[in-house]
């Protein structure tokens, strides 16, 4: 069976991928933090003067602003990655680090469905699950490091993509 990477640019190194991800994380996180600040969505604060305890914070989070902010965050992170990946294979972070996402089978820009699968596998566990939020980025990073020969993270495997260098 022929190598799917034959004729494609070399794979992007893990360090560049990490820096690109951090750039993209900042690009999405800063506006979300400003939205949260503007609406005073401080759903983790326990107001002891009102007689609140931790259960009040949990109830407030699930009943309103925390859940709304979670949904906004999911749309922002998944939408950002989906849009840029399906459009050009390059988020701004990847563009600045000179790399792009490519379909493993032919090197083309990922389809809308592949881009959505990749974005969902990348962000949903991180945003939805408290324990996963701490561990998921580490799991993804390790999966890129140990995967041979294509250096695919679990999100790349979900979409059948690889990350390659560009000029």
Residue 78 lies inside a defined structural domain of this protein: yes
Q: Alpha helix (H) ranges present in the chain? A: 14-38, 54-63, 65-88, 92-96, 112-128, 130-146, 154-159
Give me the number of domains the chain comprises. Answer: 1
Range of the domain at 151: 14-43+73-165
- Residue 58: inside a domain, yes or no? no
Asked whether 64 and 124 are in contact (CB, 8 A), the reply is no
The model's pTM is 0.83
pLDDT digits 0-9 by tens, 74-111: 999 999 999 999 999 999 999 999 999 999 998 999 99
Residue 37 pLDDT: 79
- Domain membership flag for residue 123: yes
Residue 89 resides in a domain = yes
Report pLDDT for 48: 58
**Residue 5 domain flag:** no
Ranges of the chain whose pLDDT falls below 70 = 1, 40-65, 130-132
Please indicate, yes or no, if residue 63 is contained in any of the structural domains: no
Is residue 22 in a domain? yes
**Residue 80: inside a domain:** yes
């Amino acid at each position: 069976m022929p190598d799917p990477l034959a004729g494609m640019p070399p794979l992007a190194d893990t360090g560049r991928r990490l820096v690109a991800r951090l750039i993209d994380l900042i690009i999405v996180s800063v506006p979300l933090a400003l939205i949260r600040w503007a609406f005073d969505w401080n759903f983790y604060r326990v107001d002891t003067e009102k007689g609140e305890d931790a259960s009040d914070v949990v109830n407030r989070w699930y009943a309103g602003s925390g859940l709304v902010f979670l949904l906004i965050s999911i749309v922002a992170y998944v939408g950002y990655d989906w849009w840029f990946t399906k459009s050009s294979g390059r988020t701004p972070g990847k563009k600045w680090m000179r790399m792009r996402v490519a379909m493993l089978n032919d090197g083309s820009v990922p389809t809308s469905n592949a881009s959505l699968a990749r974005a969902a596998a990348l962000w949903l566990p991180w945003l939805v699950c408290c324990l996963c939020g701490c561990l998921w980025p580490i799991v993804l990073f390790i999966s890129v490091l140990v995967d041979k020969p294509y250096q695919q993270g679990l999100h790349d495997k979900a979409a059948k993509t690889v990350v390659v260098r560009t000029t």
